[in-house]
Amino acid sequence: ALAFVFALGIIIFVHEFGHYLAAKGFGMRVLAFSLGFGKRVWGFRRGETEYGLKAIPAGAYVKIIGMHNIEPVDPADEARTYRQKSFGQRVGVAVAGSTMHFILAIGLIYVALVGLGQPAGTMDIAEQQRSWHISSVVEGSGAEAAGLQVGDRIVAIDGEEIADFTDLRRVASPLK
C-alpha cells in the first residue's frame, strides 16, 4: 500500500510539474506549486513562487495568476496572466500535465528495457518465440527425469519439429 501511495505521489507530482514548466516557459506568473491540500507542513519561497508540501496527500496544484476572467490581478501583472496568453499557450499549459504522463511512461519503459532486458534479447515477438528455451526445471518432475536442463531447447517431440513455443504447446498438449 505504501508503494502504491508513493507511486501515485510521483505521478501527481510529474503531472503538476508539467503544468508548472509550461506556465513558466510561456512567461506566466506562477504563485504556488504544492503537493497535497490543506494546511502547509513544509515550504519555501523562491522568487515569486511559493513551493510547499501540504497536510492532506490527496493531490497537488499549481496556482497561476489570471486563470479566471473575474480574478482580480494587479495591472502590472496583467500581461503575465493565463487569460492574456494566446490560445495555443493556454492549451499548452492545460495539456502539459498529460504530456508529462507520456514522457514518464516512455522513461519507465526505457528503464525497464535497459535494466531488465527483453526475452531473447529482442523486441521482435517472432524472434522471441523462435529463441525460447527452458528457464527452470522442477525437481522430481518428468522434465527432470527426461534429462531436460535449464537452457535446453526442445527441437522435436516424437519426430514432430518444434519451430517455436506455439508449436510446443500444440504438439505437447494432452488435448490434441
Going by C-alpha positions, the residue among 40, 166, 17, 73 that lies closest to residue 83 is 73
Going by C-alpha positions, the residue among 71, 60, 57 that lies closest to residue 29 is 71
Amino acid at 23: A
Give CA–CA dist 120/74, Å, rounded.
Answer: 62
Angle made by CA atoms 16, 21, 23, in degrees to the nearest 5: 95
**Active-site residue set:** 16
Give CA–CA dist 60/17, Å, rounded.
Answer: 10
- H-type alpha helices, the chain: 2-25, 87-116, 125-130, 142-145, 165-172
Give CA–CA dist 104/98, Å, rounded.
Answer: 10
